[in-house]
Amino acid sequence: MIYDILDYISIFLALLIVLPFHEFAHGFAAVKSGDLTPKLQNRYTLNPFAHFDLPGLLCFLFAGFGWAKPVPINPNNFTNYKKGCFFVSIAGVVMNYVTSFIAYPLFILAIMFMPDIGYFDEVITYSLFYIFSFGITFAIFNLLPIYPLDGFRVVDVFNKKRGPVFCFLRDKGVYILYALIGLSVIADVLDIYQLDILGNFIGFVASYLQIPITWFWGLIF
């Protein structure tokens, strides 16, 4: 029981890092592209509670992936519309991968050198692992080309023709996400691994995306 509690504490602490860094990156890119809306809406901050979305947070806690409250932007203020939309859309994903890249060596150092100080050392070690893990899975999740995720917005930047598939993903995307997340939760409750389509896909891609990080730091440690 105590280790389950420590696990949830560690997950929550990891989310205090992963989610606000992701959303701040969107806001930072928007401001640099000429839109001050994130500042005017008090979302140009690393304060995690300014970015938390309760359903997305609960999904993170129980399904391993979720979302934060999107930073409001007005692309009409961008000095270069297409370039601004692209950089704002991709900024959060890039930040997630950078966060994982930084967290991994800290996780390894914690395993190697963290002294035994009650349960505190385990919380630190677990939290660093979840920051590394969530950074990658959050990046993959957000790259899915389904509205309202970042991947859809990246596709939208370069998509000149609004075909039926694009319109379907835009209009029904949120319901597709809810259905996939619902399947993941049901799969976890019923212990039916094959039913977790979204989780299996993210896990498969993550196993490859983490290779450059572990390989690079493996040269040092």
Active site (catalytic) residues: 23
Q: What is the phi/psi pair of residue 105, to 5°?
A: -65, -30
Contact between 68 and 53 (Cβ < 8 Å): yes
| C-alpha closest to that of 110 among 98, 122, 99, 96 | 122
The DSSP element (H or E) to which 59 belongs, if any, is: helix 54-63
Give the whole-angstrom CA distance, residue 191 versus residue 121: 31
The DSSP element (H or E) to which 215 belongs, if any, is: helix 197-218
The burial of 127, by beta-carbon neighbours within 10 Å (0-12 exposed, 13-18 middle, 19 or more buried), is given as buried
